[in-house]
Amino acid sequence: MNCRIIDINNIETLSVIAENFPEGIQEAFNKLKSNLTSLKGLKFYGAALIKSDGVEYRACFESAEKKEIPELEKFTIPGGKYASCKLKDWNKRTGEIKNLFKQMMTGYKTDLSRPQVEFYKSQKELILMLPVYA
């Protein structure tokens, strides 16, 4: 797997927490998108925080307008160093995402205080971002 280390700033988003993981991911994104009048110009993310009682997964979007939507919760994807890998044709390969993150964790010292992030760059390209220590 070909990864590189990137450094990102905090990303301010609006989000929906999935009711269960991983089964509730699509439902969370559907709920998120149902609150939007247009998807144009928006950046979508998935943020999975490993907790003692399981995984808290958030479907998120960042918009240039920074508007508030009462049904959606503000959430900050923390900045810092991340191992970043591309997954092409992710729509056909969603079952591989968990294992790819596991593979990444074997090569990097993972910061479990920050979420693992999926950046949906396009319909074809997903960027997996694993929080790491410098």
Q: Alpha helices of 35-125 — where are they, by DSSP H? A: 97-107
pLDDT > 90? residue 128: yes
% of the chain beyond a pLDDT of 70: 96
Single-letter amino acid code for the residue at 56: E
Q: What is the pTM of this model?
A: 0.94
Mean pLDDT computed over 6-25: 95
CA-nearest of 87, 109, 84 to 7 is 84
Higher-scoring residue by pLDDT: 111, 134: 111
pLDDT tens digit string along 30-43? 999 999 888 888 99
Q: How many domains does the chain contain in total?
A: 1
Q: Which residue range forms the structural domain that includes residue 45?
A: 3-131
Q: What is the mean pLDDT of the chain?
A: 93
pLDDT tens digit string along 59-111? 999 966 667 788 899 999 999 999 999 999 999 999 899 999 999 999 999 99
CATH number of 20's domain: 3.20.80.10
Q: What pLDDT, on the 0 to 100 scale, is given for residue 68?
A: 79
Higher-scoring residue by pLDDT: 56, 1: 56
Instruction: Give the strands of the sheet with 80-88, arranged side by side.
Output: 3-8, 80-88, 125-131, 116-120, 43-51, 54-62, 11-17, 73-77
Q: What pLDDT, on the 0 to 100 scale, is given for residue 100?
A: 94
Collect all residues with Cβ–Cβ distance below 8 Å to 18 and sequence separation of at least 6: 24, 25, 27, 28, 57, 58, 59
Distance CA 83, CA 74 (A): 25
Lowest mean pLDDT among 1-5, 47-51, 57-61, 78-82: 1-5
Single-letter amino acid code for the residue at 41: G
Question: Are 60 and 45 in contact, with CB atoms under 8 Å apart?
Answer: yes
Query: Residues 49-54: contacts with CB within 8 Å, 24+ apart?
Result: 49/114, 49/115, 49/116, 50/112, 50/116, 54/21
